[in-house]
Chains A and B, each alone.
Chain A
C-alpha cells in the first residue's frame, strides 16, 4: 500500500524526464516516398528482376528433361500387362531414344502423381526414435505407428508405420542399346538422400550383425525383404540407412512429386547419356492405378537452380517488367501533374 510511503516533498519531484524518448521526440525518419525516390527505385527493382528472370529462364531452358510414364493405363503401353493388380513380379521394358547428348550428371527420378504423402495421418505414422536406432522402440514402437505397429501375432513391425510400410518398391535398370545389344548404364545409388539423414538422423542399432537387432520383429506388411536385407550388394546400405528408404521417408510436399532414384555419373556415362536408344527395365511392383495414381521415370540434369522450372524465371520477368512499366506510368503522371506546380 502506497499510502504508507512517506511523501517526499522535493521540489518538482514529479516532473517527467524531458528526454527525447519519454517526450516521443526521438529523431524519426519518415519514409516520405516522393516521386524522386519511387520512380528510380521501381526502375532499379524492375531491371534487377528482369536480370534475374533472364538468368533463371535461360538456365531453366538449358536443363534437359525426359519424362516417361510407365503406369500402363493405355493398352499400347509396354507396362499394361503389369498394371493388372494380380500380376506378380511383373517386368516390363520401356524404350526411348535421345537425339542429342543428355548432359551429365543425369539425375534419374521416379515420379508419382495423385499420391498424398503429405496426408496428415500418413505423415504421423512413423517412429523417429525407432528409426534413430533406439532398440527399445524395436520392441514397442510408438503409438503413432498404429495400425502398422504390431502384426497379428503381436510382433512389432520394424520399421513401423505407414510411411515405411508404403515404401516404393519398383526397381529400374537402364540399358543403352548399342547395335542391338544392351549395354548396362551404371546407376549410382550413393548419396541420393540428405547427408544429415544418412549420417545423423537415421541410425541403425549398434548391433552386428544387423540382423540380430531385428530379432523378434517382423518386416512391414508390404515389404518383400526385411530392412536389413534391402541392399544385398552393399552392407552399408541396409537397415534404416538404405538410401531408397531415406528418400522415401522424406515425405513429398505435394501430391505430384518425384523422388531421386539414382544418378548416372559413372563410367562412359559420366558426361551424360549419349544420343541413342535406351531401354529401361522396370520391376513393376507398386500399385497406383487403384487410386488413379500415375508412375513415371524422369531423367533430368540439374543446374544451380535445381530442376527445370520455368515459372520462377517468367515470374521474375513479369514482375520486373511490371515495375518498369509502373515507373514509366508514374513518370508520366508525375510529369503531367507535378512539374507545372513546381514552376
Chain B
C-alpha cells in the first residue's frame, strides 16, 4: 500500500531511487524494521553456544569435561564433570538471552512506533508503523516527533523550507541544527503533493558518516539537482521548531546512518588483564608440574608394588596397564582433578567486579556536575583499573583546562586599544576574604598582567563557584548554551561608548559609515548565532502570515545553490584544525537568500518580526561556538543588539533604537583551512554589498588590502598597531579575533555569484570548490579591529594539576593556541612554576632543532649528574611549538626528544594539529612504555583520545565528538583528580587484590587435593565430594572476593586526595619512591608470589594437621575430607577478612552469609543424598562430624595455624606497615 510510484534500480554501486510506474520497486532495499537482536528463538541455543565457544576458557572447560569421558583417565563421574561448564554456559546464556530479549523488546517498540506515510491509494498521509516504511516512501514528520528513517527533506511547514532538528539521540548535541529542503525541485507549495514528485534520486551507498551525505535528483528533463547532509533528516533525530516536514526515504532500517553508527561498547584490554595472563600462564605451568609429579608418583608407586594387591582394580577385561601407561593416563586424570587451579571463574568475577566499580564511579556525587546535570560516564567497561596506573596525562587546553565560556575582554578598533577596565573591576568585590582560604601560593605575574588592576587568578576561581551557584538558581534550563546572563555581562568601556555615540551622531544623517559602527555590526552580524526567546526555547517558530506568502513566492524563485558545507565537517581527518583562536564551525548554516527578493528587506520591520522590540532583554542567543556568543553579547552591550536571524536576513538594533535589516546574501562558513568566516550582506541603507570577515589574526592579516574608507591613518599602521594589541592579548591569555570589512562591487558580486552557484551545484569535490569561491571573495579586506576574549580557567584546575603532579603523573598540555597564550595559561594553572627552567623550542630548521635538543639534553644530564644537585632536582618545563614538534617527532630525533621530555616536569605544546596530538601520545606511549591518558573536549582531541591508553572526553561546549570517542566522559577537568587519585587507585588496588586473592584461593584449595595424592597412590582420588567442591567455588567463596573487588577501601578517599603520592603505588616501578611502596604489598609481582607461597603454606597446614590428627584412626575418605573442606572455607574467608581494610555491614553480611550458606547447603546435601553421587556419597557425614568435638578442635587449630603469618602481617610494628602509617600520621598532622 505504501510502495508508491518510485522505481528502484541499483547501478554502479549507488542506490537509485526513481520514479517508474508499474513495478514493486522497493523490494531490493531493506525495510525500515530493525532487528538488533543477535539470536532467534529457535537458533538461540546453537548460536549462543557457538558464540560462547569463542572464549578460550570455555573450550578449556569443555576439553576437560570430554577428557573425563575417556574411561582410562576420568577422575569423577563423567556426568558430574559437566557441571561447571554447564553452569558457566547456562549463566552466560541466561545473561545473553536477557540482553537479547531487551533488545527485542526495544526493537519491537521502535518498529511499531506510528508514523505518517503517504498512501497513493488514499491520496493522503496515513498512519502506519515504522517498520512499514520503505525506501522511496514519502514520510511526514510533525513537530517533536522522531524521524523514522533517513529522509531527504522535500517540504516543510516553514515557508523558507527549513526545518530544525535535534540530534541529541545521535551524538548528544542538544543544540538545534538546521536542515533545509532540497532546493530546486520547486515543490514547496503550501501543501505538498507527493505525486507531483517525479525525479529520480541517486544517492551514495549507505555509510556511517553522520556529517556527510551526497545525492542528486534527476528531474524528468535530465536536470540534476544536488543535495547534501543539510537536506537529510537522520533517523533518530527529533524535529523541532517546525510544524511538519515531508521527506523522501533514502535509507531505511539498518542502512540508516544512525544504525550504521550503532557500534557496541568499546573493547580495550587493560594492563592488568595482560599481567593477569602471565599469571594464568604461571598457573598452567604449576598445574602441569603438579600433574607431572602426580603421574611420576603414580608410576613409581606402581613400580614398587611387587604383586597386584586387592585394591588395584584391573580394567573390565581383567587386564592391568603397565605402570608407565598408567602414569601417562594419570597425568590427564590429574589435570581433571586439579583443573580449578586455572581460575576460570576469575574472568566472570572480574567482569562483575568491573560492573560494580563502574556503578560506584558513575554514582559518585563528586564527579557530578550540576550545571550540565551530567555524571561521569564510563564507556569502556573494562579498563577501570588502568585509571590507577596513569603516568602521563595529555590534556587539551581550551574547554579542558578552561571553561570554554568566553567573556569579551578587550578590543582594538582601528588601532586604538579599549581595555575595558570595568570588566576586570566587576570581579573584584569580596575577593579579599577569599584569599585567606587560599593556601596555594600564587606565582606572580601570571595572566592578566597588562593591567594594574589585575585580579588574582584565585579570585576568579572562587567566583566561578559563586557564579555557578547563582546560575543554577537563575537558569534552570541547563541546555541553553551560552545564554545565561553571567557570562554575557560586559560593561562597556566608557571611552569606546563615547566614540560610538560620536560616530552615531556624526553619521546618522549620512550613510552610517564609521569604523566603530562597522566593527560592532561585524560583531553582531558576522556569526551564525541563532536568536531565540529565553522563555520560549524550543518552541515552534511561527512566521507571520504576510511573510509566509511572500516567502512562498520567493522560494519558488530561489536558486538551488546554498552553502552546503556542513558545519559538522570538522571530522577527525582534518588535521589542520587548531583549536585556539578561532570560532567553531557553525552548524546552523544560514542560507543565502534570493537575489531577486530585494523588496523583502523593508518588510522585515521589527513590528512584523516575531521578536518584538520590547523583549530585547529577553533574547537568548544559541551559538555553536562560545566565542560567537561572547561577541554578540559584547555588541549588545554597546547597543548593537542582534534581534533576529533568519536564513536570509539579520536584524540588528542600533544604539539609536533604529532597527536595521540586513539581507544576507551568503555565509562563507568557517573551515579549518581558511580559519575565518565571512558573511555577505546587503546594507539596507547604502544598498551596497558588504562582506564582513572575522578570523584568526594570521588568517586575516595577509589578506588586508584597501584601508578603511574615510580614514586618514594608513592601513599598515593600523595593522601594525592592531597586531601589537593582538600580541598583548595573547600574552594575557586571551583569544584573539580580527574583524574586517569589504565593500563588494555589484559587478564583482555578479561574477562571483556565478562561480559560487556552480560550486554549490557540483556533486564531486563540492566542498573544495565552495571553499575556493570563499577564498576568491575574501581578499583585499579592510581591517576594522580585533577582539580579545577571555576563556576562564575551570574551577580548581591548578589544584588538580598540582595534585596530579604530586601523584607522579607528568602532565602535558597540547593546544592549538599561540605559545604566548599557552605559556600564560600554563602559569595560571600551575603547569609551569616560576622557579621552573623553561626551555622554549621554536624553530623552523631541522638543524637548529637537533642542536637545541642535544644541548638541552646535555645540560640536563650534566645537571642531574652533578653531585651537588642530588637533592635539588631542577624542574624543567618544555614549551614547544607545532612546527618544531613535527621535527622533534621525526624518526631520527624522536628518541632524543622523548628522553628530554621524560626529564621535564611538564611539557607544553602549542599550535599543534589534532594529528600531532595523537602522534605525541603514540610516541610517548610506545617509547617510554607508560600508561597514558588523554583528556580533551573537542573534535580536534578525538585522535589523541583514541591514541591514549585511556581517553577521557570532557562534555563541554564543543559538541560531543570527544565524548563519543572517549572511554570515560567527565564534565569538568577537576573531576580528573578524584577519578584518578581515588577511583583509579581504588579500582586498581581492589581489582589487583581481588585477582591475587583469586589465585591464592584456588591454589590453596586445589593443593589440598594434591597433598592427598601422596596418600592414595597418586590415583587421583578426591576426598571431598565433587558437588561440594563445585559449590565451594561457585557459591561459598565466590561472592566475598567479588564484594572485596568492588567495595574494599584500603585508603580513605580523603586521604587519597590529601596525599596524592599514594597514587604512585599503581604505577610501574620507575622511581626510588616506588621501592617504599613495594613493601606495602601492593606491588603486583612480589605480592603474587607471596600469595602463592602463602597458599602453599596454608594448604600444607590445612592438610597435614587433620592428617596427623586422624592418623591411625578408622576415619573414612569423605569423613576425612569434610573437615578439610570446612577448614579451607574458614581459612580462605578469614584470609580475605584480614585483607579487607574496611568492614561495612555488607562485608559482614556476605562473609557470615557465606559461612552460613556453606553449613546449610552441606548439611542439606548430606542429609538428603542417600545414594547419589557415587563414590563419595556424603550421607550424614557432616552431621556426624559436627557431633564430634574433635572436628571443632581440629578446625580451630588448623585455621589459626594457617593464618598465623597473616596475623603477623597485621601487627603494626612489622616493617610492612610502616610507610603507610607514616603517611597516615603525616596526613593527619597536616
> Does A27 sit within 8 A of B, measured CB to CB?
yes
A residues 239-277 in Cβ contact with B at 8 Å:
250-260
A-B contact pairs, 27 of them (CB 8 A): A1-B107, A4-B110, A4-B146, A7-B168, A14-B368, A15-B368, A15-B375, A16-B368, A29-B1143, A33-B1212, A111-B1112, A115-B309, A119-B313, A120-B75, A146-B315, A162-B310, A194-B1180, A253-B1120, A257-B1112, A257-B1113, A258-B1112, A291-B308, A291-B309, A293-B309, A309-B1111, A311-B1109, A319-B1201
Partner of A117, one of B34, B75, B311, B1190: B311
Instruction: Give the residues from 293 to 343 in chain A that come closer than 8 angstroms, CB to CB, to chain B.
Output: 293, 304-307, 309, 311-312, 315-316, 319, 330, 333-334, 337-338
Question: Contacts of A49 on B, CB cut-off 8 Å?
Answer: 1197, 1200
Cβ-defined contact, B1142 with A56, below 8 A = no
B571 within 8 A of A: no
Contacts of B169 in A (CB 8 A): 3-4, 7
Q: Check if A28 sits within 8 Å of B312, measured CB to CB.
A: no
User: In the bound complex, do residue A119 and residue B1017 qualify as a contact, i.e. CB atoms below 8 Å apart?
Assistant: yes
- Known A28-B1144, A34-B1212, A291-B306; contact A309-B365, beta-carbon cutoff 8 A: no
User: Residues of A with Cβ closer than 8 Å to B?
Assistant: 1-4, 7, 9, 11-18, 22-24, 26-31, 33-35, 38, 45, 49, 52, 56, 109, 111, 115-129, 131-132, 144, 146-149, 162, 165-166, 194, 196, 200-201, 222, 250-260, 290-293, 304-307, 309, 311-312, 315-316, 319, 330, 333-334, 337-338
Give the shortest distance, in Å, between A61 (CB) and chain B (any CB). Answer: 16
Shortest CB distance B1201–A (Å):
6
Contact B373 A132 (CB under 8 A): no
Nearest A residue to B106 via CB reads A1
Q: Which residues of A contact B317 (CB under 8 A)?
A: 147
Interface string of B1188-1230 (1 = CB under 8 A from A): 1110011001001100100000111100000000000000000
Answer yes or no: B1170 CB below 8 A from chain A CBs: yes
- Residue numbers in A under 8 Å from B1144 (CB-CB): 26-29
Contact B1112 A307 (CB under 8 A): yes
What's the least CB distance linking A280 to chain B, in Å?
19
* Chain A residues whose C-beta falls within 8 Å of the C-beta of B316 in the assembled complex: 146-147, 149
* A24 in contact with B360 (CB, 8 Å): yes
- When distances are taken between beta carbons in the complex, the residues of chain B under 8 Å from A222 are 310
Q: With A15-B368, A120-B1016 as given contacts, are A3 and B1193 in contact (CB-CB < 8 Å)?
A: no
Closest-by-CB residue of B relative to A167 is B310
Once the chains bind, are A304 and B1109 in contact (CB under 8 Å)? Answer: no
| B634 interfacial contact with A, CB 8 Å | no
| A254 and B1213 form a contact (CB under 8 A) | no
Q: Besides A31-B1210, A147-B315, 7 other CB < 8 A contacts?
A: A15-B375, A116-B1019, A144-B1175, A166-B311, A251-B1116, A305-B1189, A315-B1109
Task: Identify which of A56, A129, A330 contacts B1193 (C-beta below 8 A).
Answer: A56
Contact A128 B1177 (CB under 8 A): yes
Residue in B closest to A29 when the chains form the complex, CB atoms: B1143
Measuring CB to CB, which residues of chain B are less than 8 angstroms from any residue of chain A?
34, 36, 75, 106-107, 109-110, 113, 146, 168-170, 236, 258, 262, 305-318, 333, 360, 362-365, 368, 370, 373-375, 476, 479, 1015-1017, 1019-1021, 1023, 1047, 1049, 1053, 1105, 1107-1117, 1119-1121, 1138, 1140-1146, 1170-1171, 1174-1175, 1177, 1179-1180, 1184, 1188-1190, 1193-1194, 1197, 1200-1201, 1204, 1210-1213
Task: Choose one: B307, B374, B479, B1143; the contact of A28 (CB below 8 Å).
Answer: B1143
Q: What residues of B have a CB within 8 angstroms of the CB of A146 in the complex?
A: 315-316
Contact B1213 A120 (CB under 8 A): no
Contact B368 A118 (CB under 8 A): no
Closest partner residue, chain A, to B167 (CB atom): A3
**Does A128 lie within 8 Å of B307, measured CB to CB?**
no
CA distance A290 to B311 in the complex (A): 12
Are the C-beta atoms of B1110 and A253 separated by less than 8 Å?
yes
Q: Are A330 and B1213 in contact (CB under 8 A)?
A: yes
Q: Is the CB of B1213 within 8 A of A13?
A: no
> How far does the Cβ of B538 sit from chain A's closest Cβ, in whole Å?
10
Contact A24 B1053 (CB under 8 A): yes
Q: Are A253 and B1023 in contact (CB under 8 A)?
A: yes
Q: Once bound together, how far apart are the Cα atoms of A49 and B1200, in whole Å? A: 10
Q: Contacts A119-B312, A334-B1213; is A292 near B306 (CB within 8 Å)?
A: yes
Question: In the complex, are the beta carbons of B1023 and A312 less than 8 A apart?
Answer: no
> A108–B1110 Cα gap in the complex (Å)?
18
Q: Distance (Å) between the CB of A92 and the closest chain B CB?
A: 21
Report whether A12 and B258 are in contact in the complex, using a CB–CB cutoff of 8 Å: no
- Complex formed: what's the CA distance from A95 to B2 in Å? 109
Interchain CB contact under 8 A, B1174 and A144: yes
Say whether B1115 contacts A201, CB under 8 Å.
no
In the complex, chain A residues whose CB is within 8 Å of the CB of B1019: 116, 118-121
Min C-beta distance of B237 to chain A, whole Å:
9
Q: Across the A-B interface, how many residue pairs have beta carbons closer than 8 Å?
A: 262
Task: Give the residue name and chain of the B residue nearest to A291 (CB).
Answer: B309
Among residues of B, the one whose C-beta sits closest to the C-beta of A326 is: B1208
A114 to chain B, nearest CB (A): 8
Let me know if A14 and B1114 touch, CB within 8 A.
no
Q: A14, B309: Cβ atoms under 8 Å?
A: no
Q: A11-B373, A120-B1019 are in contact. Are A333 and B1213 (CB under 8 A)?
A: yes
Closest to B330 in A: A120
Please tell me if the beta carbons of A16 and B364 are within 8 angstroms of each other in the complex: yes
Are B1179's CB and A196's CB within 8 A? yes
The CA of A305 and the CA of B1113, in the complex, are separated in Å by: 12
Whether the pair B307, A291 counts as a contact (CB closer than 8 A) is yes
Selected contact of A165 from candidates B305, B306, B307, B310, CB within 8 Å: B310
A330–B1211 touching, CB < 8 Å: yes
CB distance from B1226 to the nearest CB of A (A): 15
Is A253's CB under 8 angstroms from B1115's CB? yes
Asked whether, in the complex, the Cβ of A132 is within 8 Å of the Cβ of B1171, the reply is yes
Q: Which chain A residues border B1146 with CB–CB below 8 Å?
A: 26
- From known contacts A4-B113, A120-B1021, A122-B313, infer whether A254 and B1175 are also in contact, taking CB-CB under 8 Å: no
- Per the bound structure, the CA–CA distance linking A28 and B1147 in Å amounts to 9
Which residue from A1, A16, A292 sits with its C-beta under 8 Å from B110?
A1
User: Is A33 within 8 A of B1111, CB to CB?
Assistant: no
A26 to B1197, CA, bound (A): 34
The residue of chain B having its C-beta at the shortest distance from the C-beta of A254 within the complex is B1015
Q: Which residues of B contact A259 (CB under 8 A)?
A: 1114
Taking CB as reference atom, which chain B residue is nearest A168? B310
Q: How far is the CA of A26 from the CA of B1145 in the complex (A)?
A: 8
Separation in Å of the B671 CB from the closest CB of chain A?
29
CA distance A123 to B74 in the complex (A): 13
Q: How far is A144 from B1175 in the complex, measured between Cα atoms in Å?
A: 10
Is the CB–CB distance between B1197 and A14 below 8 Å? Answer: no
**Contact residue among B309, B1117, B1141, B1179 (Cβ-Cβ distance under 8 Å from A251):** B1117
A21's nearest neighbour on chain B, judged by CB, is B1146
Query: A118 touching B365 by the CB < 8 A rule?
Result: no
How far apart are B176's CB and chain A's nearest CB, in angstroms? 14
Do B1142 and A30 touch across chains, with their CB atoms under 8 A apart? yes
Instruction: Please tell me if the beta carbons of B305 and A309 are within 8 angstroms of each other in the complex.
Output: no
Given A15-B373, A258-B1113, A162 and B368 touching (CB < 8 A)? Answer: no
Indicate if the CB atoms of A120 and B1020 lie closer than 8 Å: yes
Shortest Cβ distance from residue A19 to the other chain B in the assembled complex, whole angstroms: 9
Q: How far is the CA of A122 from the CA of B1175 in the complex (A)?
A: 10
Contact A38 B1211 (CB under 8 A): yes
A119 to B1120, CA, bound (A): 15
Least CB distance, B284 to chain A, in whole angstroms:
24
Contacts A16-B375, A116-B1019; A312 near B1117 (Cβ below 8 A): no
Cβ A18 vs Cβ B365 within 8 A: yes
User: How far does the Cβ of B1117 sit from chain A's closest Cβ, in whole Å?
Assistant: 5
- Contact residue among B1015, B1119, B1210 (Cβ-Cβ distance under 8 Å from A255): B1015
Instruction: Name B1171's contact: one of A26, A128, A307 (CB within 8 Å).
Output: A128
In contact, A306 and B1213 (Cβ under 8 angstroms): no
Residue of B nearest to A30 (CB): B1142
**B370 with A15: CB separation less than 8 A:** yes
Docked-complex contact B1212 and A115, CB < 8 angstroms? no
Across the two chains, which residue of chain B brings its CB closest to A121? B313
Which of B1021, B1023, B1204 gathers most chain A CB within 10 Å? B1021
